[in-house]
Amino acid sequence: MSLKHLGTENVENTAQTYASMYKDEKDALVKRKESYATLAKQYYDLVTDFYEYGWGQSFHFAPRHSTETTPGSIARHELYLALRLGLKKGMKVLDVGCGIGGPMREIARFCGSQIVGINNNDYQIKRGTVLNQQAGLSQNCSFLKADFLHVPLENGSVDAIYALDATCHAPDKVSIYSEMYRLLKPGGCFAAYEWCVTDQYDPSNPVHNEIKKNVEIGDGLPNLDSTADVIAALEKCGFEIIESRDLAIPDAINPIPWYQPLVPSMSISSFRVTGLGKWLTHYLVLGLEKVGLAPKGTTSTHEMLMLAHDGMVRGGQTGIFTPMFFFLVRKPAEKS
């Protein structure tokens, strides 16, 4: 959690610039959408080290069976996309908004495809390239620095595309989905886990709006769209909807909800998310910042992540938010 990649003098400036995007100004949402690429880059400049330290190399959640570990459920969540897309050796695949490449490496080991991770963050690409080398997967996994709305690849040049908790950073769904449509070969499929507000979200409810805002601020999002918005955008772009459903809803296979690791309990592993654990972490980070062992801005970054924690737990518990609205869609095959 050193944030050394930013340079000590830049952490506070980056944190302040990021926070300014969420001020209660009339045109704040418009500004966030216009600056979506900068917003996401600044967010991951600040939080990548925190994420990897606290969560591992895969920056997403997963539902879980009672016999399963959290890392096991996360891997299964990733491999489900590979299975539904029918990924196999020889296919060219895009991982859109790939982070440091945890899911990409898991999927490459599973199916042997050539996977290119799209990312606009230099630090994450540098870190992910090292991890690819350490895993012996440099032949299968690579990174392409690009804005995911403007990927420098030819039309119809990839066999399949997936995204885990990443396209929520786009300014609007039609823009991102139309780019995926352009990149896919005719008959190719796109699968994703999308962050959304659900049908239970009430825009006139101030508690719901507070939860939504905390998720947006804490996770670097321009705006949370609804599940209906997602389906409408996919159809507008020309995709055939094969399947769509909210995997956050507990069932017999996944009775333990995705947000359970964030809920305080008596276990040692979850102490950090208890009230006392968060309080101690806050003052530890604050103390390190004051004595110069952590750069200024580290505390505000931690506070931002606590907003995310609050929004996600309450959003999951109330059912108004899901980080795993799953869809599988196909670009129609060319008519002969």
Give residue 26's pLDDT: 65
Where does residue 183 rank: exposed (0-12), middle (13-18), buried (19+ CB within 10 A)? buried
Give me the residues of the chain with pLDDT under 50, please: 1-2, 6-8, 266-277, 279-280, 282-283, 288, 293
pLDDT tens profile 261-288: 888 654 444 444 444 445 445 445 555 4
| Strand boundaries in 73-232, DSSP class E | 92-96, 114-119, 141-145, 158-164, 184-197
- The pair of three-digit structure tokens given for residue 44, joined into one six-digit string: 């991951």
Give residue 19's pLDDT: 67
pTM confidence score:
0.87
d(CA 300, CA 307): 11
Q: Give the number of domains in the chain.
A: 1
Concatenated DSSP letters for 44-87? HHHHHHHHHHHH-S------B-TTS-HHHHHHHHHHHHHHHHT-
* CA proximity to 265, closest of 254, 257, 255, 275: 275
* CA proximity to 180, closest of 201, 205, 161, 159: 161
CA 248 to chain centre: 15
Give residue 40's pLDDT: 79
Distances, alpha carbon 193 to alpha carbons 97, 164, 170, 186, in Å? 12, 5, 14, 22
* CA dihedral sign, ordered 134, 135, 141, 144: negative
Distances, alpha carbon 87 to alpha carbons 154, 160, 269, 279, 325, in Å? 20, 8, 35, 45, 21
Give residue 273's pLDDT: 44
Running DSSP on this structure, what letter comes out for residue 188?
Answer: E
* CA dihedral sign, ordered 31, 33, 34, 39: positive
Residue 78's domain comprises 1-336
Helix (H, G, I), strand (E, B), or coil: what is residue 325?
Answer: strand
- CATH label of the domain that carries residue 111: 3.40.50.150
Edge-to-edge strand list for the sheet holding 114-119? 141-145, 114-119, 92-96, 158-164, 184-197, 321-330, 240-246
Helix (H, G, I), strand (E, B), or coil: what is residue 219?
Answer: helix
Give residue 265's pLDDT: 54
Bridge partners (DSSP) listed for residue 332? none
CB atoms within 10 A of CB 294: 22
Type of residue numbered 210: E
Give residue 300's pLDDT: 62
Distances, alpha carbon 11 to alpha carbons 130, 218, 290, in Å? 23, 16, 14
Residues 6+ apart with CB under 8 A from 136: none
- Of all residues in the chain, the percent with pLDDT exceeding 70 is 81
Give residue 296's pLDDT: 56
Residues 6+ apart with CB under 8 A from 60: 74, 77, 103, 164, 165, 193, 323
